[in-house]
Structure 1
Amino acid sequence: MSPTLALGIAATLLVLATTIGIVLRRRDGRRRDGGALRFDPADAAAAEFGARATLVQFSTEMCARCPQVRRLLGGYASDHEGLRHVEIDLTHRPDLSARYKVLQTPTTFVIDSSGAVRARFHGVPHRHALAEALAAV
């Protein structure tokens, strides 16, 4: 293989990896539709929903950003009436990651009082997007 061809392949891979990284970073923390998912309260240690909505955070023991999300969601829940924050550690419940299609941690669900997943966030949720999702509940 010629050095020019090797350099061209390396440059192409660098551009591709950079582009994928930028796209993934831009999507992180944005609101997505919850689809037709329903959350079973028996899957959480605390088996009751908030009167208005529940913020369900999926995390793992080795997750670096999960404590930040825990503080954000816990503070948000304590500041708003009828809102509850529940954290589920997927290290101890790996079956839930397949059931709820959780591919990364932290992942946050906004669940209404009936258990329907109204929104989901991958990564650290943007505060304004979280407020919009809760306003829609």
Structure 2
Amino acid sequence: MDPWAVFAVLGALVLASTVLGVVWRSGQGRIRTSTTTDTVAIDGVELGDGVTLLQFSSEYCSPCRATARVLDELATQRHGIVHVELDVAERPELAARFQVLQTPTTFVLDAEGRIRSRIGGAVRRDAVAAELDRLLGAAAA
């Protein structure tokens, strides 16, 4: 095979990988709102008075630790917010029920236990804070 053709193929592979990586990364930490009216009940999990941050993690997931720190901070800074972290290895039935395909995955539940938002990947503090403000503001209105 011609060396230039090999370089062209390798260059195309590098370019395609870079584009796919950028697209995948842009979706990480993005909040997807939910319009479901179904309530969530989980054995052994007590929901918050206002909002529950339900995080699915795994033992060897470093972004899970960072996400837990951010969610813990936000929960302690605001009244009525509870952060609950579940290990997918310990609760695989919940991971399947909520269709968790990656860790961390965080669900934002309102006071009635309805899923209001889903965040795949490491969370962004400002985005979660804005979502909490939106939900708590809607609850107060």
* TM-score when normalising by structure 1: 0.89
User: 1:31-110 residue pairs with structure 2 within 5 A?
Assistant: 31-36=31-36, 38-42=39-43, 45=44, 47-110=45-108
Task: Give the Cα–Cα distance (whole angstroms) in 2 for the partners of residues 54 and 96 of structure 1.
Answer: 16
1:25 maps to: 25
Bigger drift between 114-123 and 2-11 goes to 2-11
RMSD of aligned Cα (Å): 1.6
1:10 maps to: 10
SS in 2 for 1:15: helix
> Is contact 1:118-1:133 (8 Å) kept?
no
Q: CA deviation at 1:89?
A: 0.2
* Equivalent position amino acid for 2:128 in 1: L
Task: Give the Cα–Cα distance (whole angstroms) in 2 for the partners of residues 5 and 95 of structure 1.
Answer: 49
> Is contact 1:29-1:123 (8 Å) kept?
yes
State whether structure 2 residue 120 is matched by structure 1 residue 122.
Answer: yes
> Is contact 1:41-1:49 (8 Å) kept?
no
Q: CA deviation at 1:136?
A: 2.5
* TM-score when normalising by structure 2: 0.86
Q: CA deviation at 1:11?
A: 1.0
Q: Which runs of 5+ in 2 are unaligned?
A: 136-141
> Is contact 1:32-1:121 (8 Å) kept?
yes
* Equivalent position amino acid for 1:41 in 2: I
Q: How many residues align?
A: 134
Identity of aligned residues (%): 38
Task: Give the Cα–Cα distance (whole angstroms) in 1 for the partners of residues 119 and 19 of structure 2.
Answer: 21
> Is contact 2:74-2:129 (8 Å) kept?
no
